[in-house]
Amino acid sequence: MDGFVLKKLISALILPPVGPLLLLALGLWLIGRRRPRPRLIGWLLAWAGVLSLFALSLPGVAVWLSGGLSPPSPTREEARRAQAIVVLGGGVRRRAEEFGGTDVLGESTLVRLRYGAYLHRQTGLPILVSGGAPEGGDAEAQVMARTLRDDYGLSARWIEDQSLDTRGNAERSAVLLAESGIARVLLVSERYHMRRASAEFERAGLTVIAAPTGAASDETGAFITRLPSAHAFHRSEQALKEWLGIAVMRLAQGAR
């Protein structure tokens, strides 16, 4: 089992929904024991699993967990101080039937690429697209470059198509950009991913001007928007994944 698969497996076991479900399953198993102490612990674990699943589906919790992950969007003056735009991949839809079975960009990557194209038109800066193919098929960067050309009439100056994670995005992009003497970049990713992505790119030796995209909050104040939802649960899961990634990154840096 390679490191990428192992990392994904460990994350899946810790993060929701699997993490809380494992707590619930362990709790139910302990409840089935006859001894009082294991039964008490079992009830506590089972309720912890149920309540955490409910809490993570609340929009307010999702917003709270996302707090601190994203800086504000750059001003036009800040954006123009960069030397290039780096757009990070966020997933590909494999063999999309409605597009003739070709690989197309997933929703997250489309959001990022659209903002990258907007920033290019505002600044005239060249674009680097970054993302490999951890699950096989066309690399994210190749699909991004094709979409940029076909849908926006723009060309990517650099295509980094070997990386498998955010650290790889940063390290491999830094090498490509260094060959052109570029050290200051506008980094485009979604808001929840921005803090960790910026840290990885700065660690790789680049000066980062963060350019987050995606909605900061979906709450409008109406009661219906505060009810539990699958969308809020997904946002909570994304935020927890980022906080876990930040913790692992800091532990790795401290171990050096």
Q: Please name the CATH architecture into which domain 76-213 falls.
A: 3-Layer(aba) Sandwich (3.40)
Please state whether beta strands 92-96 and 102-105 pair in parallel, antiparallel, or not at all (unpaired).
antiparallel
- Distance, in Å, from the CA atom of 153 to the CA atom of 57, rounded to the nearest integer, reads 40
Name the helix (H) or strand (E) containing 158.
strand 158-160
CB neighbourhood size of 44 (10 A):
13
pLDDT above 90 covers what percent of the chain? Answer: 82
| Ranges of each domain in the chain | 9-67+231-255, 76-213
Model confidence over 130-171: pLDDT tens digits?
999 988 889 999 999 999 999 999 999 999 999 999 999 999
pLDDT above 80 (res 202): yes
The per-residue b/e assignment along 102-130, b for 16 or more CB within 10 angstroms, e otherwise, is ebbbbebbbbbbbbbbebbeebebbbbbb
Please state whether beta strands 102-105 and 127-130 pair in parallel, antiparallel, or not at all (unpaired).
unpaired
Query: What residue has token string 């994944």?
Result: 241
Rounded average pLDDT over 2-14 = 85
CA distances from 226 to 57, 126, 218 (A): 10, 41, 10
Q: Which is more confidently placed, 226 or 17? A: 17
